[in-house]
Amino acid sequence: MTPDLILYHALPLLGSGWEAVAVRCGRIMAVGRNEEVLRLRGPGTESIDLEGRPLLPGFFDAHVHFLQAGLDRVFYLDLSQAGSLGEALELMAAAGRARPGEWVVARGWDESRWPERRYLERVDLDRAVPRSPTLAVRVDGHLVVANTLALARCVHPEGELVDRERGHLRERAADDLLACAVPDRETLVAAAGVASELAASLGVTAVADMGGPDVLPVLQAAEARGLLRTRAFLYLPAGGRERLERLGIRRGFGSELVRVQGLKVYLDGSIGARTAALTAPYLGEEGRGELLMGREELSGLLRRAKRAGLQVAVHAIGDRAIEEAISACELAGVGPEERFRIEHLELPTPGQLERMARLGLVASMQPNFAARWSGPGKLYRSRLGEERDSRIDPHAWVAARGIPLAFGSDGMPMGPLYGLPGVIQPPHRPQRLPLEAALRAYTYGGAYAAFAEDELGDISPGKRADLVVLSRDPRATPWEEVRVAMTFLGGELVYEGG
C-alpha cells in the first residue's frame, strides 16, 4: 500500500527523530526521515515539500462556543474592536437604523479597554437604538445590557441577576433574554460552516464545544451538508441530562466529526462581570460574586452523570467556586477514570490543586485570558488587586502537580497563536510554561481531556492525520509574524494561507 500524501522537510516542534509524515485513508501511515518516508511513494501519492516549516498535530481548542464564533460573523454585531464606549454605541445605532424594529444583538464589548472604563447601561442603548430591542453582550458572556424595549421581555424580577435601572442582566436572566433573539435554523447551520472555516484558518482541527441545547442538531445538519470540517466534542447543558439518559446517549455517541461527550455545569460567572465566586471581596467592593450551585446539589449531579456514562465539565473561575467543585467531586467519589474537568480554573489555591491531582481532574484553561487581562493596568489587577492578579491562571502550578492540562480559547478570540504568549511570555511567573509544554496542552492535552488521545493529539502511526503547518519557527520569530500556512483534516487540505 502506498500513501495518499507525504509531507517532508518538516520541522517537528513536538518530539524529534522525524522529518516526514506519510498519510493513507485519513490516518498517519508512517513517520521518519525524509528518505525513508519518500521511498513509500506511489504513482498516486501527493508530495508536499514543507521547506523546513514547523509541522504540528492539529490544534485542539479545549473550550469554545463554536456556533457563537460563526454567529459573530453572520448574525451578531461585533463590538470586539470598538475602541471606546461611544464607538460601540455608534455601531449599534447604525445597526438599528439598518433594521428598525428588529432585534439588534451585539457581542464582544470590553470596558477594560475603553478610556471610559465603565459598563454600558440601559440609557446608553436607549439613546443609540430607541426603536429596536437591543442587547449588548460583554466579551465574557456573563453580563448582558438591554435597552428598554428588550428589557420589557425579561421575566425575571429585580434582584441579584437583574438591575432594571442599569439594564444589566447576569447568568440565567441573561440567557433567558438572549433566547428571545435566537436566529433561525438556516442561519445557525450557516454559522457552523463559517465557524469551521475560521477554525481551519487558525490551525484548529478539533474543539470541545460548550454550547447550548441546539448545538447537536445544528452541527449534525452542517456535517450532512459538507459544511463542517472540524471535529466537535459536545458538552451539553446539564439541564438536558435526563433526556440524554432516556435516549441512552453516553460519552462518545455520534460520528467522526460530531460527538456527545457529556454535560456543562456553571458554578459561577466571570471576573469581568464581577460574578465569579471569590473567597475575599472584589477590590474596593463588598461583593464576592455569585455561587450558582452548592456542593451537595453538584455532587448529586456528578453521581448521576457517572452512572449515565457522561463526562462533566464544571465552570469554576473564583477560588470559592473551585472549592465547591472539588468538594463535590470528593463527595461523589470521582476518580481519574472519569476525567471530569474544571473549566477556566483561574484562581485556585495550591491546596486545591493538590486535591485536583489526587482526583484526576482535568484543568481546562485559557492562556489568552492572561495575555489579555493580567498585569499592571489591566482588568484582573483592577478587579482583584496585585496579589491575586500575580497568581491568576497559574499554568505552571497546574503542570508541576501533574494535573492533565488542556488549553482552549473560550472564543476570546479563538486561535492558539493568539493565546500562546499568555503562557510562554506572561506577566507573572506562575503563568509561564516552556513552548513545548504549551503546545502539548493545545494538542494532546485537549485530546486527552475529551478521551480522544488514542486518535488525536500527536503525530504517530495510526492517528488521524489532523495536522497544521506554521509559516515560521516560533522559537526564532516574533509571535506576530507567525501564521498558519496549512491545515489538514484527515489528510485533506482544508486551509492554505497566503
- Is the Cβ–Cβ distance between 21 and 37 less than 8 Å? yes
What's 50's domain CATH number? 2.30.40.10
- Residue 336, preceding peptide bond in cis (omega within 30° of 0): no
Starting at the edge strand that comes first in sequence, how are the strands of the sheet with 5-8 ordered? 27-32, 20-24, 5-8, 46-49
- Is the Cβ–Cβ distance between 70 and 215 less than 8 Å? no
pLDDT in tens, 38-51: 999 999 999 999 99
pLDDT reading at 6 higher than 90: yes
- Total number of domains in the chain: 3
pLDDT reading at 248 higher than 90: no
**In terms of residue numbers, what domain contains 262?**
185-449
Average confidence (pLDDT) over 96-125: 94
Q: Are 24 and 84 contained in the same domain?
A: no
What's 94's domain CATH number? 3.10.310.70
The confidence band for 247, taking pLDDT boundaries of 50, 70 and 90, is confident
Residue 70 falls within a domain, yes or no? no
Residue 303 falls within a domain, yes or no? yes
First to last CA, the chain: 33
Average confidence (pLDDT) over 200-227: 95
Q: How many CB atoms lie within 10 A of CB 139?
A: 25
Average confidence (pLDDT) over 481-486: 96
HSE of 170 in the Cβ direction (CA atoms, 13 Å)?
21
Q: Are 141 and 210 contained in the same domain?
A: no
pLDDT of residue 498: 65
What are the strands, taking DSSP E only, across 328-378? 341-344, 362-365
Alpha-carbon distances, residue 381 vs 23, 119, 279, 389, 390 (angstroms): 48, 17, 17, 5, 9
pLDDT of residue 86: 96
pLDDT reading at 243 higher than 90: no
Q: Are 293 and 160 contained in the same domain?
A: no
pLDDT in tens, 273-320: 999 999 999 998 879 998 999 999 999 999 999 999 999 999 999 999
Helices 215-224 and 66-74, interaxial angle, to 10°?
A: 70
- Is the Cβ–Cβ distance between 200 and 494 less than 8 Å? yes
pLDDT reading at 196 higher than 80: yes
Q: Are 405 and 338 contained in the same domain?
A: yes
Average confidence (pLDDT) over 329-357: 98
Mean pLDDT of all residues belonging to the chain: 95
Average confidence (pLDDT) over 437-466: 98
Q: Are 421 and 308 contained in the same domain?
A: yes
Q: Are 430 and 476 contained in the same domain?
A: no
- Largest alpha-carbon pair distance within the chain? 72
Alpha-carbon distances, residue 351 vs 45, 148, 285, 302 (angstroms): 54, 46, 26, 22
Q: Are 217 and 355 contained in the same domain?
A: yes
Q: Are 198 and 53 contained in the same domain?
A: no
SS3 assignment, position 72? helix
The confidence band for 16, taking pLDDT boundaries of 50, 70 and 90, is confident
Give the separation between CA 292 and CA 142, rounded to whole angstroms.
13
* Amino acid found at 186: E
Which among 288, 292, 318 is positioned nearest to 388, based on CA atoms?
318
What are the strands, taking DSSP E only, across 224-281? 231-237, 253-254, 258-266
CA-based R_g, the chain, Å: 23
Q: Are 326 and 373 contained in the same domain?
A: yes
Handedness of CA 444, 445, 447, 451 (dihedral sign): positive
What's 274's domain CATH number? 3.20.20.140
Percentage above 70 pLDDT, the chain: 100
HSE of 172 in the Cβ direction (CA atoms, 13 Å)?
15
Q: Are 209 and 144 contained in the same domain?
A: no
Q: Which residue has the cell 455545569?
A: 265
pLDDT reading at 487 higher than 90: yes
